[in-house]
């Protein structure tokens, strides 16, 4: 079974909801992993415009939100979801991962959207915590995507790439640079895939006006017997 996964930091839709909708429709994901997912009403509008189901962080006043989201396109549907807040995040910009299980016709996958911090020590601590979270996800393959704020040779991406397939490294061409969108010079956005998934291709979407990041597109195959 084929599965297209896209990870995308949409900068809170500050460059326009319509522009993000157009960028998403251009790459037609089955699973969309968002970072900086903005106001809930705009996330709902994105889901309605693209025909996808969206899940995000629960209401948690007075704490600040962790703005990651997962969207799935029918016939996929969200079976369950939860937010994991990383320990030791900065007070005014908490970090975490939105963890969702999606299913269709007897198949299951785990989809995880994350956004790591700017400080190297925070990033590696949270990358390690993230792999602990993923180690507890059973019964289905895992696809993990996000804005890691770090290039591949840095510690946090390298930690994850030692444990999961980096889709771009496995099947991408070119540099894979995603930031800044207008003239990208750094690969800081990633899709990782666990055992049970095969990476067939990876690319960077063209959307220079929708956000300051470009979307990463990964075409995967769910191996026979995985996630059944």
pLDDT tens profile 103-116 = 998 899 999 999 99
Residues across the chain: 228
State yes or no: pLDDT of 90 exceeds 80.
no
Answer for the pair 158, 128: CB distance below 8 angstroms, yes or no: no
Contacts of 49 (CB under 8 A, 6+ apart): 17, 21
Nearest residue to 150 (alpha-carbon basis) of 192, 189, 188, 124? 188
Establish how many alpha carbons lie within 13 A of residue 39's alpha carbon, considering only the half-sphere containing its beta carbon: 7
pLDDT tens profile 28-84 = 999 999 999 999 999 999 999 999 999 999 887 778 899 999 999 999 999 999 999
Angstrom CA distances, 97 to 100, 135, 200, stand at 10, 14, 25
Q: How far apart are CA 113 and CA 173, in angstroms?
A: 23
| Domain range annotation of the chain | 2-222
The model's pTM is: 0.96
Among all chains, which residue has been given the structure tokens 């009403």?
Answer: 41
- Name which residue leads in pLDDT, 162 or 226: 162
Beta bridge partners of 32: 6, 71
The reported pLDDT for the residue numbered 106 is 86
Domain boundaries 2-222, corresponding CATH code:
3.60.10.10
pLDDT tens profile 151-172 = 999 999 999 999 999 999 999 9
Give burial (CB, 10 Å; 0-12/13-18/19+) of 51: exposed
- Name which residue leads in pLDDT, 217 or 90: 217
């Amino acid at each position: 079974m084929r599965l297209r996964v896209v990870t995308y930091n949409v900068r809170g839709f500050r460059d326009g909801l319509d522009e993000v909708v157009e960028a998403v429709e251009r790459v037609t994901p089955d699973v969309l992993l968002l970072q900086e997912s903005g106001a809930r009403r705009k996330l709902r509008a994105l889901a309605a415009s693209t025909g996808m189901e969206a899940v995000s962080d629960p209401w948690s006043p007075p704490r600040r939100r962790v703005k990651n989201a997962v969207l799935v396109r029918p016939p996929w549907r969200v079976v369950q979801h939860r937010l994991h807040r990383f320990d030791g995040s900065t007070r005014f910009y908490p970090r975490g991962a939105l963890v969702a299980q999606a299913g269709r016709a007897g198949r299951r996958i785990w989809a995880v959207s994350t956004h790591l911090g700017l400080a190297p020590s925070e990033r590696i601590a949270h990358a390690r915590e993230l792999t602990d979270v993923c180690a507890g996800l059973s019964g289905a393959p895992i696809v993990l995507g996000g804005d890691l704020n770090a290039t591949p040779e840095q510690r946090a991406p390298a930690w994850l790439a030692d444990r999961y397939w980096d889709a771009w490294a496995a099947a991408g061409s070119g540099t894979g640079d995603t930031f800044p969108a207008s003239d990208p010079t750094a690969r800081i956005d990633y899709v990782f895939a666990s055992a049970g998934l095969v990476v067939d291709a990876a690319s960077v979407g063209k959307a220079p006006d929708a956000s300051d990041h470009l979307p990463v597109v990964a075409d995967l195959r769910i191996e026979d017997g995985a996630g059944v």
